[in-house]
Structure 1
Amino acid sequence: MPFPAPSPLAENVPRRLDVLLEELAELGGQRNAIDGRVVEIAAEMERDELCGATGARSVTALVAWKLAASSANAHTITTVARRLKEFPRCAQGMREGRLSLDQVGVIAARGGEGSDEHYAELAAVATVNQLRTAVKLEPRPEPEPEREAEPDLRPSITRTSDDEGSCWRIKLPHHDAAKFDAALDSHRDALFAEWKSDHGDDEDALEIRPPLPTTGEAFMRLVEAGWDVEAARRPHGQHTTVVVHVDVEQRAAALHLGPALTEAERQYLTCDATCEVWFERDGEPIGAGRTTRQINRRLRRALEHRHRTCAVPGCGATRGLHAHHIVHWEDGGPTEMANLVLLCPYHHRLHHRGGITITGPADDLRVADSHGRLLSPGSLARPPTQPPPAVPPCLGPTGERAQWWWYQPFQPQPPPIHAGQA
Structure 2
Amino acid sequence: MNTTAQLPTAERPIEEIETEICTLAGQIAAATARFLTLLAEFDARRGWAGWQLHSAAHWLSWKAGVSLHTAREQVRVANAVTVLPRIAHAFAEGRVSYSKVRALTRVATPHTEESLLRIALQAPAAHLDRLVRGLVRQTRKADNSNTDTDSAGGRWFYDDDGSLVVSARFRPEDGARFIAALTRAEYERTRTDDDGPDTPEPDRTAPAPSNPVPAMVAMAETICAGTTASPVVSPAADVLVHIGPDGSPLDASHAHLDDGPGLDSQTLEAVLCTASVRLIRHGRLGPTIAWDTSQRRPSRTLLRQLVIRDRCCTVPGCGRTRFLHAHHVVYYSRGGPTDLDNLTLLCGEHHRALHDGLFTITAEGGQRFTFRHPDGRGIDYAPLLSGDVDDLSRRYRHIDPDAVTADWSGEPLDASFATDVLLRNWDLEKRRRNTDLATAA
Please confirm whether the aligned pair reaches a TM-score higher than 0.5, indicating the same fold. Answer: yes
Aligned to 1:329: 332
Structure 1 residue 13 displacement after superposition: 8.4
Structure 1 residue 229 displacement after superposition: 9.6
Matched-pair contact (CA < 8 Å) for 1:137–1:409: no
TM-score (norm. length: structure 1): 0.69
Aligned to 2:311: 308
- Structure 2 distance, partners of 1:336, 1:295, is 8
Distance 1:371-1:111 versus aligned 2 partners, 3 A rule: farther
Aligned to 1:356: 359
Once the two structures are superposed, residues 135-174 of structure 1 have per-residue CA deviations (whole angstroms, 9 ceiling, x without a partner) of: 34445275342669965697999xxxxxxxxxxxxxxxxx
Aligned to 1:257: 259
Once the two structures are superposed, residues 162-196 of structure 1 have per-residue CA deviations (whole angstroms, 9 ceiling, x without a partner) of: xxxxxxxxxxxxxxxxxxxxxxxxxxxxxxxxxxx
Structure 2 gap ranges (5+): 1-8, 148-170, 182-224
- Structure 1 distance, partners of 2:269, 2:226, is 31
Selected match of 2:273 from 271, 274, 278: 271
Q: How does 1:19-418 map to 2 (within 5 A)?
A: 19-138=16-135, 140=139, 142-145=141-144, 230-231=228-229, 241-247=238-244, 248=248, 250-252=251-253, 253-279=255-281, 289=292, 291-361=294-364, 363-369=367-373, 372-384=376-388, 387-388=391-392, 389-391=395-397, 392=399, 393=401, 394-398=403-407, 400-404=410-414, 405=417, 408-409=421-422, 411=426, 413-414=429-430, 416=434
Distance 1:151-1:22 versus aligned 2 partners, 3 A rule: same
Distance 1:64-1:137 versus aligned 2 partners, 3 A rule: same
Secondary structure at the aligned position of 1:134 is classed as: helix
Amino acid corresponding to residue 387 of structure 1 in structure 2:
D
> Which deviates further from its counterpart, 30-39 or 116-125?
116-125
Structure 1 residue 371 displacement after superposition: 5.4
- Structure 2 distance, partners of 1:230, 1:237, is 13
- Structure 2 distance, partners of 1:89, 1:371, is 43
Amino acid corresponding to residue 397 of structure 1 in structure 2:
A
- Structure 2 distance, partners of 1:374, 1:401, is 57
- Structure 2 distance, partners of 1:89, 1:420, is 28
Secondary structure at the aligned position of 2:345 is classed as: strand
Matched-pair contact (CA < 8 Å) for 1:53–1:371: no
Amino acid corresponding to residue 291 of structure 1 in structure 2:
S
TM-score (norm. length: structure 2): 0.66
Structure 1 gap ranges (5+): 1-11, 158-226
Which structure would you say has the larger Rg? 1
- Structure 2 distance, partners of 1:231, 1:42, is 47
Structure 1 residue 368 displacement after superposition: 3.2
Matched-pair contact (CA < 8 Å) for 2:96–2:404: no
- Structure 1 distance, partners of 2:438, 2:38, is 41
Amino acid corresponding to residue 274 of structure 2 in structure 1:
D
> Which deviates further from its counterpart, 102-111 or 261-270?
261-270
> Which deviates further from its counterpart, 50-59 or 139-148?
139-148
> Which deviates further from its counterpart, 312-321 or 393-402?
393-402
Structure 1 residue 17 displacement after superposition: 2.6
Distance 1:237-1:257 versus aligned 2 partners, 3 A rule: closer
Structure 1 residue 57 displacement after superposition: 0.7
Q: How many residues align?
A: 341
> Which deviates further from its counterpart, 265-274 or 397-406?
397-406
- Structure 2 distance, partners of 1:245, 1:419, is 66
- Structure 1 distance, partners of 2:282, 2:390, is 62
- Structure 1 distance, partners of 2:98, 2:62, is 18
Structure 1 residue 420 displacement after superposition: 10
Secondary structure at the aligned position of 1:342 is classed as: strand
Structure 1 residue 103 displacement after superposition: 1.2
- Structure 2 distance, partners of 1:367, 1:45, is 23
Amino acid corresponding to residue 140 of structure 1 in structure 2:
T
Matched-pair contact (CA < 8 Å) for 1:111–1:135: no
Distance 1:378-1:352 versus aligned 2 partners, 3 A rule: same
- Structure 1 distance, partners of 2:389, 2:50, is 27
Distance 1:140-1:233 versus aligned 2 partners, 3 A rule: closer
Report the RMSD for the aligned CA atoms in angstroms.
Answer: 3.8
Distance 1:97-1:151 versus aligned 2 partners, 3 A rule: closer
Secondary structure at the aligned position of 2:66 is classed as: coil
- Structure 2 distance, partners of 1:48, 1:343, is 26
